[in-house]
Structure 1
Amino acid sequence: MKRTMLYLSLLAVSCSVSAAKYPVLTESSPEKAGFNVERLNQMDRWISQQVDVGYPGVNLLIIKDNQIVYRKAWGAAKKYDGSVLMEQPVKATTGTLYDLASNTKMYATNFALQKLMSEGKLHPDDRIAKYIPGFADSPNDTIKGKNTLRISDLLHHSGGFPADPQYPNKAVAGAFYSQDKGQTLEMIKRTPLEYQPAANISTAMSIICCLDLSSSRLPVSRLTAMLKSRFIARSA
């Protein structure tokens, strides 16, 4: 809980699309924009409750028809120094910027998988090897189990992969060194497991890459193209 951050750094509610490439945002009010003020107050109280029970900081911005109708900050922009609770946390403001770190790849991959699952093209209990030819243990691997890995194991970060294999860094990656995307994906398939699947939890970049590979074996294009055609383009 200490390191869990709920970052609603931007919630854009857009009911129309401006012809301008970069529309100018103007100030308005919830009442003028047709929002239910009591519902917004309920949301305010709910977010305040979440901050009271442990969420460090929340920022919310609502935009409709290129008008800013609501923005507010709750809690702290910085509440912990490492793992130590600060005596005087840095208060969050509407101008606070957050480091989103690895959230982009996590959200993109999960949204794509949820879409495929809702269409019946993929199931969380499916084996990874079903979608990635050659995804198997090597004879010399100390820890075996790739043939048992399911998509849900990767989603739970319990797939057994090393946290940071650093494929582009030859000094670290060794025989798995690669600075070519296609070759790197092959190296990921060959990377030995670091622990028995489901025996531990470790966030690993390899997990996202394997999920990307899994989605690419379905009757869709690569992950980035799929997101563009199924989500981004449709919202424009």
Structure 2
Amino acid sequence: MAGWSDLDRYLDDQAAGELSSAGLVVVSSAGVLHEHHCGDALRYSTPSTAQPDADPGPAVLLPADRRVPVRGSTLFDLASNTKMWATNLALMELVGRGALDLDRPVCTFAGWQRFGEPGRRGVTVADLLRHEAGLIADPRYFDPRAAGPLYCSGTPLDPVPRERIIATICRTPSARPPHQGYCYSDLDYMILGLLVEQICGQRLDHVLEDGLYRRLGLVSTVFNPLDKGFDPDRIAATEPEGNTRGGSVDLGPAPDGSPAPMRRYTLRGQVHDEKAWYCMGGVSGHAGLFTDTGDLAVLLRLGLGEGRLDGKQYIAPEVWRRFARPQGRTAGERAESSHGLGWRVAPSAGDPYPPFGSSPAPGSIGHTGWTGTLTVVDRQWDLALGLLTGARHRLGTDVGRDRPVDYSRIVDAVYRAAL
């Protein structure tokens, strides 16, 4: 089909340039319609890696014989798509089993009593999912200068105890009062992941990898893949010089005078997100999940089936629909809403959600991720897509620039080719 060829050429051109790499999978409820992989999983690197206490020197473009090409089995850092394909799935399962009431106030969970003190007593689990709790978007607990007395940082080898991060979150001031409208926040999903862990009595990665993911037959969807035995050559790199934004960021000393934990080496198999790595040991409700296009295809088909896949029901359909329903207090607000319970939603009125563009049918759901990932699930057209890219694997201080991927152009091209 010429449409697929045109799309593949566009992705090839993008991966040869600033995107570095791309993996695309398009599915219907019956199976995979199209898959394409291109670019380099590793194109730039510091001279040495994984030396946390040393400056490895600047990253450089690798000679062609040292680059690692992307393959179908390459894992990518999903970034905020973790919120949907890890935390939301875990929450849906708990709601379906009757183990979690979405209207329960957060401050009624063990250890969270102080969360309700600064005017947040009425904040519920559903408020976090709707991003209406009024919490700050990006709490930089790992940055001594930004965090001040809330400084809370470590590494997976010397992790921050969960009890300490919960106490720190409870002391964190809000951005604004709750229930004043949509306010996207990573902190919402950090809390949700921690609540899943408390209810299940296991860390989030074990809840999913030993539970739903195993039942779905997923073999490449994990947190902390290096710790799970994955070869680095199977994992697409992100920032070439750690979390330094091309050498422009330095966290300085911790309050005790020791250097604050700071990765300066090429990130490969470690979650890029600073909060997930330094504060949550690589396992957080807002970021940390890795997957490849094969496993992502299974998850996308699960979405098309509203929790049902290949004749088996994994998540109750009424629960799935509740999470996917546009939010708003009036019919007009719901028609123009681009968010459900966590999920981003294609609105039925007003402007489209920009990353989706205008092609997906109203009610389609999905999410984006800072590393350059996108998922879209469109039940009306029986079509879903997952895009994984190396958008943050580039040299220079603009590695953190906003919107490095033209998502809507790729979505439109998928719809033209598939329909």
TM-score relative to the length of structure 2:
0.32
Cα distance in 2 between the residues matched to 1:134 and 1:69 = 43
Query: What is the CA distance between 1:204 and its match in structure 2?
Result: 1.4
Q: Give the AA of the match of 1:230.
A: G
Highest RCO, 1 vs 2 (Cα 8 Å, sep ≥ 6): 2
What's the CA shift string for 1:87-122, capped at 9, x where partnerless?
xxxxxxxx9xx9954112332111000000000000
Aligned equivalent of 1:108, options 86, 101, 106: 86
Q: Give the aligned partner of residue 82 of structure 1.
A: none
**Between Structure 1 and Structure 2, whose CA radius of gyration is higher?**
1
Spell out, residue by residue over 1:132-191, the C-alpha distance to the aligned partner (whole angstroms, 9 max, x if none).
42432587xxxx322211000000001111111111011111110110432333211221
Matched, 1:193 2:174: yes
Task: Please name the residue that 2:33 is paired with.
Answer: 70
Are residues 188 and 106 of structure 1, via their aligned partners in 2, closer, same or farther at CA, if it must alter by over 3 Å? farther
Q: Which runs of 5+ in 1 are unaligned?
A: 1-57, 74-94
Give the corresponding residue for 1:168.
142
Question: Are the aligned partners of 1:137 and 1:192 in contact in 2 as well (CA < 8 Å)?
Answer: no
Distance verdict in 2 for CA 1:188–1:137, change over 3 Å: closer
Q: 1:151 aligned to 2:120? A: no
Which residue number in structure 2 is paired with residue 133 of structure 1? Answer: 111
1:205 equivalent to 2:179? Answer no
Structure 2 counterpart of 1:205, one-letter code = D
Aligned match of 2:101: 123
State the secondary structure of the residue aligned to 2:121. Answer: helix
Q: Aligned partners of 1:176, 1:198: CA distance in 2, in Å?
A: 25
CA contact (8 A) 2:111 2:166 kept: no
Q: 1:190 to 1:111 in 2, by over 3 A?
A: same
Q: Which amino acid aligns with 2:130?
A: H
**In structure 1, distance between residues paired with 2:146 and 2:127:** 26
Q: Give the TM-score taking structure 1 as reference length.
A: 0.55
CA distance in 1, matches of 2:142, 2:25: 36
> Residue 196 of structure 2 is aligned with which of 215, 219, 233?
215
1:13-92 equivalences in 2 (<5 Å): 60-61=26-27, 70-71=33-34
CA separation in 2, counterparts of 1:208 and 1:114?
14
- 2:168 partner amino acid: M
| Identity in percent | 29
Aligned length: 149
The whole-number CA distance in structure 2 between the counterparts of 1:205 and 1:130 is 21
The alignment partner of 1:216 has SS state of helix
Distance 1:132 1:163, change over 3 A: farther
Cα drift, residue 196 of structure 1 = 0.7
TM-superposed CA distance for 1:222, in Å, is 2.2
CA contact (8 A) 2:141 2:147 kept: yes
Aligned AA for 2:34?
Answer: R
Q: 2:32, 2:88 → 1: CA distance?
A: 30
SS of 2:34's equivalent in the other structure is strand
CA change 1:103–1:147 in 2 (3 A) is same
Please, what is the CA RMSD of the aligned residues?
Answer: 3.1
What is the distance in 2 between the residues matched to 1:138 and 1:147?
4
CA pair 185-218 structure 1, distance change in 2 beyond 3 A: same
CA distance in structure 2 between the partners assigned to 1:136 and 1:221 by the alignment: 23
CA distance in structure 1 between the partners assigned to 2:116 and 2:149 by the alignment: 14
- SS in structure 2 at match of 1:71: strand
Partner of 2:216 in structure 1?
235
Q: CA contact under 8 A between 1:136 and 1:146: conserved in structure 2? A: no
For 1:221 and 1:211, locate their aligned partners in 2 and report how far apart those are by CA, in whole Å: 14
